[in-house]
Structure 1
Amino acid sequence: MYENPLPISERAEKRNVQTKFNYWDDPGDGSKPTPIVIGGGRISNKRPHLPHDFVVTDVTGDEDGFSLDRHGFHYCRHKSLETDFVDEQAIQTAYYDECRELLKEVTGANRVHIFNHKVRRGPTQWHHLGFSNLANRGPVTRTHVDQSYDGAELRLRWEFPEEADELVKRRYQIINVWRPIATVLKDPIATADSGSVSDADLVAADMTEDGFKGEQWVVRHNRAHRWYYKNRLTPNEVLLIKCFDSDKSVARRSLHSAFEDPAHRDKESRQSIEVRCLVLHDA
């Protein structure tokens, strides 16, 4: 069961950060973004991005003011029995079960299907490590959403080929359960308020992973985007990031990206795990 936020006396210092977020460098000729290919132990990502200045706002003490349906992200206290996240079997059994129960409790969904997870312990510039760079997977420092609207249905149909025609008639979501493995200092993760991001800022981009041909969003820069993070996020806290919602009356997606906090530039590489989930609701 998830818990109430920490008492004020136990919270980290609240601090906003002046930083840069990397946005897709749109060539302006209508061409699609360069595809990403993941497989065979490596990722190829040659999409051009440019840094843009933002202030990212610390939510510490104000966590309850943000929700999946209003903003596209939600922080909650949640202690896991798993601590090291080095045993794949333990992750895919006990920890997956914890994530399923957490999402059912938070969203009211009746069914949660986990389709993959990513453990990140590598350096900031891990993409440039060459072949087998996935063995040193690190933070993603480019603004993105994991699935476009069409990409979410592609994932649903890939995971549930026999049921998909019925499932698309009901509400379904894709939500990432993002947890630190150690308290986050270097390269914290930020999410953008869905209400500050127009669909016009989003550009569909192909991404193939281990044979699955999906589609995600890359992002055009817009000064109106409002970015948030939580200072010194601990392993007993999780960030829920909505990548998709078929309900058009609520926040449907939240941009996210790691960013550089200049005060912690020289610290050890960030450690985290994210679990990607299809969240299915009754009719």
Structure 2
Amino acid sequence: MILDADLAIKDTARQIQANLNYLLPNGPSINRGFVSAGIERNTGRYGPFPTMIRDGRTIRPHFSLDRHGFELLDAPTSVANFANSAAIERALDASLVVPTSWMLRTSGAIPPREKQEPYRHYGGLQPATGEVHVDTEPSRQAAYAQRMYAQVRPEGKGFKRFVISSIWRTFSPPPQDYPLAVCDTRSVRKDEGTPNVLWVVDQMPDDLLDPAIGDDNAQPLAAAIFRHSPDHRWWYFSRMARDEVLLFKFHDSDRSVGWRVPHSAFWDGSLEGANTRESIECRTIAFFE
């Protein structure tokens, strides 16, 4: 529920109109996402929906991870790998925060793949993701958390809560042409979202809908993709600098707080002199023992 105080403060923020790509009805019954080096394709049909996106820059202290599902943090760094687990531990107050993967993304051109080694969806350079999604599908996350905990705490006492998050940072000069929009978790119903099974491949198949691919045998990864809802409330933080990170939730096992944040890159034509967006995302899982 979005309270009256939140509705009042949101009206003080700068507003822009932009297109967000949502899953369209009457598309294929099979939803798959294929990723390879520099390429990402989905079987679903997506269409642009004109959407109001508010700029949270001037009211950034208003946002909190457990209320909205995201917040902007100061996290200065001078290293190439921009993961900052200390900042995340402070924000989450968790017993253990484990980085699980990272990826560079750009709105610019991606050089052709040179190495012919099997593709791993870890590190490397990918395009900005331009459809509304959450990188985790709820029904698969408890088992994933158990596997991860067993790896990092083989003699551990167990955990009572886990949070899967993304730490997102731009390192191209502001403003960026394709920033990231995040949806207030309170404006998303718990029953929203369609599973989109993830396939990591060396080469894109000729037929993405081939029934012989067999989704039941796919690796146990899937995203959630979303249909348009007029109730969704969207935010972004303009002119992000490399010493800031946007922290937002993919999945929180505690459903009494904000537990997931749909998000998408979008074209921001509201600011002059926009630069090619270059960013890094680091995924983490935090355990509360």
- With structure 2 as the length reference, what TM-score do the two structures score? 0.77
Correspondence for 1:61 among 28, 47, 58? 58
Does the alignment pair 1:217 with 2:224?
yes
Contact 2:74 2:244 in 1 (8 A): yes
- 1:1-283 aligned within 5 A: 15-27=14-26, 31-33=29-31, 35-39=32-36, 42-82=39-79, 85=80, 91=81, 95-96=82-83, 99-123=84-108, 136-161=125-150, 170-182=160-172, 183-209=174-200, 212-263=219-270, 267-282=274-289
Structure 2 SS opposite 1:233: coil
The corresponding residue for 1:8 is none
Structure 1 SS opposite 2:283: strand
The alpha-carbon distance between structure 1 residues 206 and 49, as it changes in their structure 2 partners (threshold 3 A), is: same
Structure 1 SS opposite 2:247: strand
CA shift digits 1:20-51 (9 cap, x unpaired)? 1100113278x342x11334664333321011
The alpha-carbon distance between structure 1 residues 42 and 188, as it changes in their structure 2 partners (threshold 3 A), is: closer
- Distance in 2 between the 1:267 and 1:277 partners? 30
Contact 1:58 1:230 in 2 (8 A): yes
Residue 52 of structure 1 and its aligned partner are, at CA, apart by 0.6
Contact 1:147 1:244 in 2 (8 A): yes
Contact 1:123 1:137 in 2 (8 A): no
- Distance in 1 between the 2:268 and 2:128 partners? 13
Residue 158 of structure 1 and its aligned partner are, at CA, apart by 4.4
Unaligned runs of 5+ in 2: 1-12, 202-217
- Distance in 1 between the 2:131 and 2:16 partners? 17
Contact 2:175 2:273 in 1 (8 A): no
CA shift digits 1:63-100 (9 cap, x unpaired)? 11111111111111121122xx3xxxxx2xxx44xx21
Contact 1:147 1:216 in 2 (8 A): yes
- With structure 1 as the length reference, what TM-score do the two structures score? 0.78
Letter in 2 for 1:58: D
Unaligned runs of 5+ in 1: 1-13, 86-90
Contact 1:139 1:258 in 2 (8 A): yes
Root mean square deviation of aligned Cα: 3.0
